[in-house]
Amino acid sequence: MNRSIQLAWTAMSAVAVLGAAACGSDDSGDAGAEAADSTRVEVADTSLGEILVDGEGRTLYLFTEDSPGESVCEGNCLDAWPVFEGEPDAGDGVDADLLGSIERADGTVQATYGDWPLYYYAADAAGDVEGQGVNDVWFVVDATGHAVEQAPDDTGGGSAY
């Protein structure tokens, strides 16, 4: 009887170890792919033409109050305009030489393109360009690193910050 219990425990331990190993390898692979997507910059075709988006299709913006290599969006501004964090990777259509990053005062690494700090518009979902032209200072970025200042075909043009 004692031997039966010992064999059962050995078998259960082996199954648990194999199951944990399988789960661990799946999770780390997904995390690596997710991290790559979250820092990838790509070009997407939108109502504003070809613009920069992240690896998940979320539109990237620049703030004309910033200076190349310096962000002035702080406090409440960041609630509406979260930074695109991390060291960016070039995807299709992106000039890798224009990619870079800055370190913000709080230590956050913010991605740049053509030295302009990059942001999201908090109200956007993937494929949206609702932040375009907000307060005449927030604009999507084209593949050459310039602000696209035209209005989208279906502009929401809301007022945020």
155 located within any domain: no
The confidence score (pLDDT) of residue 12 equals 40
27 located within any domain: no
The rounded distance, in Å, linking the Cα atoms of 70 and 87 is 16
> Alpha helix locations (H) across 40-62?
none
4 located within any domain: no
15 located within any domain: no
52 located within any domain: yes
The confidence score (pLDDT) of residue 151 equals 81
pTM reported for the whole predicted model:
0.74
> Which residue range is the domain that position 99 belongs to?
41-148
22 located within any domain: no
> Alpha helix locations (H) across 40-122?
76-80
158 located within any domain: no
> Alpha helix locations (H) across the chain?
2-39, 76-80
pLDDT per residue over 48-106, tens digit each? 999 999 999 999 999 999 999 999 999 999 999 999 999 999 999 999 999 999 999 99
User: For residues 74 and 161, is the Cβ–Cβ distance under 8 A?
Assistant: no
First to last CA, the chain: 73
pLDDT per residue over 116-161, tens digit each? 999 999 999 999 999 999 999 999 999 999 999 988 664 444 434 4
